[in-house]
Amino acid sequence: MGVEDWQHVHHPARAEHRLARHSAAPVTGDHHRADGAPDEIPDVEPSLPDAVRARVTALAVDLFPGLGPDVLPAQLRRFAQFTPARRARLAGPTVVAQLAADPAFRERLAERAVEAAGPLGAAVAAGNPPGAADPVEVAALAYLARPARWTTLVEAASATVVAAAESEQVQAASRQVERLTEQLERVRVNAKADADKLRSDLAGVRAEADELRGRVRELAKALRDSEQDVRRLTDAVSTERGRVAAASSASDAEIRRLRTRLADAERELEVAKSASRAGRVTDETRLWLLLETIGNATQGLRRELAVAPPDTLPGDVVAASSAAAAGSRTKAGGQLWAAEEPARLDQLLALPRVHLVIDGYNVTKTGFPGLALEQQRTRLLAGLAGLAAQTNAEITVVFDGAGRLPAAPSSPRGVRVIFSPPGEIADEVIRRLVRAEPKGRPVVVVSSDKEVAEGIRRAGAYAVPSVVLVRRLDRA
């Protein structure tokens, strides 16, 4: 297919017009086609469409690396080391101007571009591009190679691009018209719906206005009735005021009479209090005599039964059994209750014959966990020695695992120390201490272990969190 056939396929009317114009134009210069006919040399460089200019630039800059510095003009040599995208962006205007001004440079580029394009480049150089080829590619190669009627190929590409752009514009305008038509239809539908809604709202407003007018008439009538009631009530208030004044005079007289009676009653009460104080003194004397009699009887029973103060307490029995099982010598005693302040612990320690039982490691790991176990025990026992000196409480502290110690620590004065025997934990020793005490004796157990606290509460002891004892010892 020749140039005329390719033009007729894409734009027949424009191609026929341009072929007629170019066939009549004179041919000058010494450029010749492959068949010997001279090439056309335009007086002025044709105006390239944007798409063709961009493709010419891309073809040229892609060939820069393969051209030596003797071929590249001085204006373009600095772009040879750039990336293709950067060369196309920065060197584009310079490349087009250099191609128009430097035929030798353009011919060297054309040889390489035709060779790189393969069959299409050869067909364009021969002036017979295939009809199915991209018109922009054909126009770019034709601009560089400049075969016979190359300007016609460029103009045909321009016409194709313009026609495509015009077609796109027409299609875009058609789509815009369709969108506007749809929007207009939606606006019409919405406007009709809004009008219907407004008519409905207007009818509702009118009905509401009629209802409000009726209510206004009713309220006006009610206001007139209220004014009449106010007048009647004003007259009644005036009458009632007169009655109140008379009743006030009568009440004042009654108050004076009651005050006289109250004074008489107070005098009678004072006489009764004096008699009551004398009777209470008599009752207290009788109570003292009764207690003195009971005390003497108790002392007589002690002498009769020869009951002496015990040398061994229940806590000592539990401590001895734990020491025998563990194979070490210790002292012990204790109980538990949930208190939150040291003051409450002081109240418990003030109870008669109270027994304080302490879960040793539970307290030390709460108060000073950063110390070694031996230092924890030493610090706790030192604090408990001071507490024993301040109170009359029996104090027992229980530690886990006597079998893991090389030697049991000494017990400070007033403090019993127990280490649980092998196979038994301190919690179990504490429960045995609580169960060993007689019912009615106050026992306080210090531990933050919830299971221990619940168990000793059921046994009748008081549970105190470990942090309370730590605060009490810090205060001391």
Beta bridge partners of 398: 359, 418
Whether the CB-CB separation of 408 and 419 falls below 8 Å is answered with yes
Rounded Cα distance between 290 and 286, Å, is: 6
Structure tokens at 341: 């302040």
pLDDT attached to residue 143:
80
- Determine the pLDDT at residue 100: 73
Q: What is the pLDDT of residues 296-306, one digit of tens each?
A: 566 556 555 54
Widest pairwise Cα distance in the chain? 162
Quote the pLDDT of residue 74: 62
Q: Which residues contact 399 (CB under 8 A, 6 or more apart)?
A: 360, 361, 377, 417, 418, 419, 420, 426
What are the boundaries of each domain within the chain? 3-165, 314-475
Q: Which residues of the chain have pLDDT under 70?
A: 1-44, 65-66, 68-71, 74-75, 77-78, 80-81, 84, 87-89, 91-92, 279-340, 402-409, 476
Indicate the pairing of strand 415-419 with strand 394-399.
parallel
One-letter amino acid of 64: F
DSSP state of 256: H
Tell me the sheet residues that pair with 395: 356, 415
How far is residue 437's CA from residue 432's CA, in Å, rounded to a whole number?
9
Q: Tokens for 26, please give them.
A: 């004179």
What are all long-range contacts of 177-183, with beta carbons under 8 Å and residues at least 24 apart?
A: none
Closest CA to 362 of 434, 463, 460, 459: 463
Tokens of 369: 């966990």
Q: What is the pLDDT of residue 52?
A: 80
| Per-residue pLDDT, 333 | 36
What is residue 375's predicted lDDT score, i.e. its pLDDT?
A: 93
The pLDDT of residue 230 = 93
8-state DSSP, 439: T
- Count of helix runs (H) and strand runs (E) in the chain: 16, 5
Radius of gyration of the chain from Cα atoms?
Answer: 60
Interatomic CA distance for residues 274 and 251, integer angstroms = 34
Predicted pLDDT of residue 317: 62
pLDDT at 446: 96
